[in-house]
Structure 1
Amino acid sequence: MKVLLTALNSKFVHSNLAVRYLKAFTKDLEYDCKIREFSINDREEHILKEIIKEEADVVAISTYIWNVEMATRLANLIKAVNPEIEIVYGGPEVSYDSRSFLKDHVGDYIIEGEGEKTYREFIEYKLGVNEIEYIKGLHYKRDGVVFSNETRPLMTFEDVLFPYEEDEDLNNKIVYFESSRGCPFSCSYCLSSTSHGVRFHSIDRVLKELQYFIDKKVRLVKFVDRTFNCNHKFSMAIWEFLIKADTKTQFHFEISADILKQEEIDLLRNAPEGRFQFEVGVQTTNDDVLRNINRFVNFSDIKEKVIELMSIKNIKQHLDLIAGLPGEDYESFKKSFNDVYSIKPEEIQLGFLKLLKGSSMREDADKYGMKYSPYPPYEILKTNKISYEELLKLKTVEEMVDKYYNSQKFNFIIQYFEGKFEKPFDFYYSLGTFFENQGYFNRNIGNSEYYKVFLDFNKVVLGESNTYLKEIIRFNYLIYNKKRGLPEFLRSDMEKEEEKIIKEKLKEQYSFKEYYLEKFKINIEKYIQNGEILEENTYYLFNDTANYIGI
């Protein structure tokens, strides 16, 4: 018997943890098991061809909000080509309405919830070892009738086997890792709130498994633990190990900043720059709204710890906000955005509430006048506090923040505009509105156009001269782009003779095969330090490693 474990990842660089867990948990059983990973950006015809080529008896598909529609279409196509192939669904998107999902869709089985033990017993059933009706956590279809077995209790987490194989090629992949399951909090929009408590692997086991990624020279390991730092002793031991490790691998953690202890922050000061990335779920800075979603924390506590982490300048922080939460109106969200922006983390993510199957938030939707899409990913459309039109405005801001702020490649340009608006939100909304009015959202624009937009925006919206702004944009452009062949709208007025004289003076110090010389009409250093615009010719050298030298 052959089983094909199929993953439809959201991006090519992602790796699927769930299918690896299932294969590892059954590696001692006598059956042929293979993993095939695809992306939702692949053509369905290609995925279907590859699945059929495997000649599997059973195709198991890991389903999530981002792939369930493709998964069900593929199931239809697989059955059309070969009705004898059995389809098994698993994952969060089928675990909270398993009976109705199986009744309404092509397929033969659903594994509900935590899947390792259920999948193992299912394989044993296919091998003739046990009876199907005794497999906890399994739903199955017979002659169009759906049968549901007893619910499976949560397993002992230490029983789960390490999902990655020794010879596995993880080059250029984002690798996911789980050192604990569950969450100590009960946020009503999150599926982690449906089960209580946190189960941990032993520290010795975690350190051994992390060494595997270090030895493999994996680029990025993302911990999927819902609140990594909920156990002080556990997080300290892992961070200390990774700080001392001789590696260039980066590690990403979802943390709750407010519960960080001083001892942890002191330890993190020793981390090599870039070793750790932290994702901090702020969601909103409105304490009343936080209570509405069962998050009993104050933003002031989060802010204090995030700022202290920023002061050590070695950890990249990504702060999340969620629009559409119960009780939060447009003005409240604007304040939340401005509050978070004032911290100046490396990234700000504006997400939109998704009313997931199984979440208590979905059950409370009527209480808050929530209307949401009935189709994955079940995104909020409006509430009794925020309209659909206002959410569209926030999406405009999201686009601008993601493109310009989060890339960290336009910082000096953004600095110029921040002082021209009362609040940061006003700038990003105004820029986004300009984008929309110019039709930029409806077509692809080139890299240089993303810079030119600022000149047009400054002239049309603010009615100001571009004389100084052009100098700042050119400087910012040269840090992150090809040094030669500047776009026409950014070229300076440096004369050939002037350039020749300067290069002659510097030829003993710098190779002009490696460095590019440029002239500016303002004192760039003063602008960077305090935003001051001072007319003064300055000269800089740029190389291909995003470095610049004032001369």
Structure 2
Amino acid sequence: MKVLITAIDSKFIHSNLAVRYLKSFTRDMDYESKIKEFTINDREGRILEEIIKEKPDIVAFSTYIWNVELISRVANLIKRVDSNIEILYGGPEVSFDSRSFLKNNVGEYVIEGEGEKTYRDFILYKLGKIKLEDVRGLHYKVNDIVYSNEKRPLMSMDEIFFPYEENEDLTNKIVYYEASRGCPFNCKYCLSSTSHGVRFLDIDRVLKDLMYFINKEVRLVKFVDRTFNCNSKFAMAIWDFLINQDTNTQFHFEISADILKPQEIELLSKAPKGRFRFEVGVQTTNDEVLRNINRFVNFSDIKEKVLEIEALRNIDQHLDLIAGLPGEDYESFKKSFNDMYEIKPEEIQLGFLKLLKGSSMREDADKYGMEYSPYPPYEILKTDKISYEELLKLKKVEEMVDKYYNSQKFNHIIRYFERKFELPFDFYYSLGMFFEDKGYFSKNIGNAEYYKVFLDYSESVLQESNKYLKEIIRFNYLIFNKKRGLPEFLRSDMEKEEEKSIKEKLKEQYSFKEYHLEKFKINIEKYIETGEILEEDTYYLFNDRAEYIRCM
């Protein structure tokens, strides 16, 4: 018997943790299992072809909001090619309406909830070792009638096998790891609120697992623990271990900033720069809205801790906001954005509320006048406080923030415009509306054009001269892009003789095979330090390592 354990990931660089858990949990059993990973960008036809080529008896799909529709279509195609191939579904997207999903889709089986033990028992059933009715946590369909077995209790974390294999190639992959399951909080929009309590792996086991990633020289390990620092002793043991390793691997944690303790911040201050990255779910800075979603914390407490981490200058922070929360109107969300922007984290994630199956937020939808899409990912369309049109405006802001702010490649340009608006939200909204008017959201524009946009925007919207802005854009461009062949709109007016003369003076210090010389009409150094624009010729050298040196 051959089972093809199949993942359709959101991006190629992701590695699916769930399918690896299933394979590792049954590695001692007498059957053939193989993991096959695709992405949502793959054509249905390619996915189908690759699956059929494997000649599986069973295809097991890992199902989420981002891939369920594609999986449903592929499963239907599999059945049309070979009706003898059985389909098994598992994952959060099928765990809260398992019977309905199975009734309305092709396939024979759905695993509800945690999958490891149920999958193992399912394989035992297929090997003739136990009866189908004894597989707890399984729903199955016979002659279009759906049957449901007894629910399965949560398992101990220590029963889980390490999901990655010794010979596995994880080059250029984002690797996911889980040291705990569950969450101590009860946020209404989150599926973690559907189960109570937190279960932890044995700490020695965790440290051993992490050494595997370090030895593999994995680029980024993302802990999927919902609130990593909910157990201070556990979190500090892991952080302390990782701080003392000689590695370039970066580790990403989702934390609750407000519960960080002084001793934790003291420990984190010792981390090498870039070793850790924190994701902090702020969601809103409106304390009343926080209470509406069962988050009993004040934004001031979150901000205090986030600023303490920011002051360490060694940990990147990714802060989340959610639009469409119950009780938050457009003006309140603008304030939340401006409050969070003031912190200046490395990344701002502006997301939109999703009313997930099984979440208590769905149960409260009528209470707050919420209309949401009935199709995955079940995104909010409007509430009694915010209209569909206002949410569309926020989507424009989100795209501008993601492209320009989060890339960290336009910082000097952004600073120029921030000073021209009373509030940062106003700038990103204005820029987003400019993109909309020009039709940029509906077409692909090249890398250089993302810089040129600022010149066009300044001229047509702000109606200002681009004399100084062009210098700032050129400087910012040269830090992150190829030095040769500057776009026409960014070229300086440095004469050939002037360039030759300067290079002659510097040739003993610098190799011009490595460095590129540029002239600017303003004092760039002063602008970076103070934001002040001072007319003065300055000369800089740039290399391909995003380094620059003022040479004259």
Q: TM-score range by the shorter chain?
A: over 0.9
The 3-state SS of whatever aligns with 1:272 is coil
Which amino acid is 2:193 matched to?
S
Matched, 1:200 2:209: no
CA distance in 1, matches of 2:489, 2:7: 46
The 3-state SS of whatever aligns with 1:117 is helix
CA distance in 2, matches of 1:62, 1:437: 40
CA distance in 2, matches of 1:283, 1:10: 23
1:531 aligned residue: 531
Give 1:249 shift. Answer: 0.8
Which amino acid is 1:376 matched to?
P
2:417 aligned residue: 417
2:38 aligned residue: 38
1:234 aligned residue: 234
Which amino acid is 1:439 matched to?
G
CA distance in 1, matches of 2:77, 2:444: 33
2:376 aligned residue: 376
1:434 aligned residue: 434
Deviations 1:180-233 (A, max 9, x none): 000010000000000010000011000000001111111111000000011000
1:499 aligned residue: 499
Which amino acid is 1:125 matched to?
Y
CA distance in 2, matches of 1:392, 1:49: 38
1:58 aligned residue: 58
1:517 aligned residue: 517
Deviations 1:508-537 (A, max 9, x none): 111111111111111111111111011111
Which amino acid is 1:522 matched to?
I
2:484 aligned residue: 484
The 3-state SS of whatever aligns with 2:236 is helix
Give 1:488 shift. Answer: 0.9
Give 1:504 shift. Answer: 1.2
1:138 aligned residue: 138
The 3-state SS of whatever aligns with 2:518 is strand
Which amino acid is 2:312 matched to?
I
CA distance in 2, matches of 1:468, 1:75: 58
1:394 aligned residue: 394
The 3-state SS of whatever aligns with 2:477 is helix
1:315 aligned residue: 315
1:16 aligned residue: 16
Give 1:143 shift. Answer: 0.7
CA distance in 2, matches of 1:242, 1:463: 52
The 3-state SS of whatever aligns with 1:218 is coil
Give 1:167 shift. Answer: 1.0
Matched, 1:77 2:72: no
TM-score under structure 1 length normalisation: 0.99
1:469 aligned residue: 469
1:448 aligned residue: 448
CA distance in 1, matches of 2:545, 2:173: 24
Give 1:172 shift. Answer: 1.2
Q: C-alpha root-mean-square deviation of aligned residues, in Å?
A: 0.6
Matched, 1:166 2:166: yes
Q: Relative to structure 2, which stretch is displaced further, 355-364 or 268-277? A: 268-277
2:107 aligned residue: 107
CA distance in 1, matches of 2:497, 2:45: 61
CA distance in 2, matches of 1:144, 1:459: 65
Q: Relative to structure 2, which stretch is displaced further, 278-287 or 48-57? A: 48-57
The 3-state SS of whatever aligns with 1:253 is strand
CA distance in 2, matches of 1:257, 1:271: 17
Give 1:438 shift. Answer: 0.9
2:339 aligned residue: 339
Gaps in structure 1 of 5+ consecutive residues: none
Give 1:499 shift. Answer: 1.2
1:250 aligned residue: 250
CA distance in 2, matches of 1:28, 1:443: 51
Give 1:102 shift. Answer: 0.5
Deviations 1:8-44 (A, max 9, x none): 1111111111111111111111111111111111111
Give 1:479 shift. Answer: 0.5
CA distance in 2, matches of 1:445, 1:169: 34
Give 1:370 shift. Answer: 0.2
Which amino acid is 2:37 matched to?
E
Give 1:55 shift. Answer: 1.0
The 3-state SS of whatever aligns with 1:389 is helix
Q: Relative to structure 2, which stretch is displaced further, 411-420 or 486-495? A: 486-495
Matched, 1:176 2:145: no
The 3-state SS of whatever aligns with 2:376 is coil
Q: What is the count of residue pairs matched by the alignment? A: 551
1:123 aligned residue: 123
CA distance in 2, matches of 1:419, 1:38: 45
Give 1:56 shift. Answer: 1.0
- Superposition misfits of 4+ residues, deviation over 3 angstroms: none
Q: Relative to structure 2, which stretch is displaced further, 497-506 or 397-406? A: 497-506
Give 1:120 shift. Answer: 0.6
Q: Relative to structure 2, which stretch is displaced further, 184-193 or 258-267? A: 258-267
Give 1:66 shift. Answer: 0.3
Give 1:75 shift. Answer: 0.8
Deviations 1:321-342 (A, max 9, x none): 0000000000000000000000
Give 1:70 shift. Answer: 0.7
Give 1:308 shift. Answer: 1.1
CA distance in 2, matches of 1:46, 1:457: 42
Gaps in structure 2 of 5+ consecutive residues: none
CA distance in 2, matches of 1:35, 1:358: 28
Give 1:505 shift. Answer: 1.1
Matched, 1:157 2:157: yes
The 3-state SS of whatever aligns with 1:342 is helix
Deviations 1:355-414 (A, max 9, x none): 000000011100000000000000000000000000000000000000000000000000
CA distance in 2, matches of 1:54, 1:258: 49
CA distance in 2, matches of 1:454, 1:76: 48
Give 1:114 shift. Answer: 0.4
The 3-state SS of whatever aligns with 1:366 is coil
CA distance in 1, matches of 2:114, 2:228: 20
Which amino acid is 2:226 matched to?
R
The 3-state SS of whatever aligns with 1:11 is coil
Give 1:45 shift. Answer: 0.7
Give 1:311 shift. Answer: 1.1
Which amino acid is 2:157 matched to?
F
Give 1:135 shift. Answer: 1.3
1:355 aligned residue: 355
CA distance in 1, matches of 2:195, 2:113: 11
Q: Relative to structure 2, which stretch is displaced further, 384-393 or 18-27? A: 18-27
Deviations 1:107-136 (A, max 9, x none): 100000001111111100000011111211
Give 1:270 shift. Answer: 1.2
CA distance in 2, matches of 1:442, 1:12: 24
CA distance in 1, matches of 2:489, 2:54: 55
Q: Relative to structure 2, which stretch is displaced further, 379-388 or 29-38? A: 29-38
1:220 aligned residue: 220
